[in-house]
Chains A and B, each alone.
Chain A
Amino acid sequence: MATGDRLRAGPPAPDDRDPGLQPERTRLAWRRTTLSCTVVTVLAARQLAQSPAPGPGQVAAVALAGVAWLVFGLVAHRRMRAMAAGRPPGLPPRSALLVAGCTIAFAVLGAVLLLTGL
């Protein structure tokens, strides 16, 4: 069946795949973004590991970086599972805010580490 026929034939069945593979592309975009977040987490951990005298400040910073990475990963995981549907629902605004918040948390953590010399 040609694409044109299918578009005229009304809404396709829920398990019908989009010929443009939009859900798959979006799932891979989430994967790439999670990898970027992991790289930032590793860099933050490396910075903390180089500290000459680890103290409670370092432990709190490592915990914050770990939480931000976990939240990012969990939001991405849920969204990637939603992409399994033929017609995924829209991105919940809370998810968008959470992943942006994680990025900002890393920036703030980096600034605090820099300015306090931890």
Chain B
Amino acid sequence: MIDGLRSLGAAVRLWFSPARVREEGTTPDYRFSLANERTLLAWLRTGLALVGGGFAVDQFLPRLHPGMRMTFTVVLLAGGALCAVRAVNHWVRCERAMRRGTDLPVSRFPSLLALGVGVLAAAMVILVALGWTR
């Protein structure tokens, strides 16, 4: 936990002085950097899809219980924002690892996201099955 916070702090400092990434190590093959860039974009699309899902829940489920609708919307919007932050963080860490020639960073974020999306979908199914709508 403490290590996690410390590495997060280092990563945030890195976002705001990005030239420091280029000070260390050697520039990797441009194809690796482009692959890393596409991964960043794929995560950004995931975040945008969650944000769009938040807007969609708010607009297209008018019969859902208002409290439930607000909960779903806020969770989806927050998840989308979190995905965007994580996308940049992971991109910076991968870029730095490639420059240093070390292993790429591992992350439990994809598993947590998959669990979260699964729980949301299951909750929606149960809500519809119970007819918990106005």
Interaction A to B: yes
Any A CB within 8 A of the CB of B118: no
Contact pattern, B 73-85, Cβ under 8 Å of A = 1, otherwise 0: 1100110110111
Interface 9-residue window, one of B2-10, B29-37, B105-113, B124-132:
B29-37
**Shortest beta-carbon distance from A5 to chain B in Å:** 18
Q: Interface majority SS on A: helix, strand, loop or mixed?
A: helix
What chain A residues lie within 8 Å of B81 (beta carbons)? 103-104, 107-108
Count of A-B contacts with CB under 8 A?
A: 118
Q: How many residues of A contact B (CB 8 A)?
A: 40
Contact pattern, A 66-90, Cβ under 8 Å of B = 1, otherwise 0: 0000000000000000000001111
The distance in angstroms between the C-alpha atoms of A50 and B40, with both chains bound, is 33
Q: Measuring CB to CB, which residues of chain A are less than 8 angstroms from any residue of chain B?
A: 18, 20, 22-23, 25-26, 29-30, 32-33, 36-37, 39-40, 43-44, 46-47, 50, 87-94, 96-97, 99-101, 103-104, 106-108, 110-111, 114
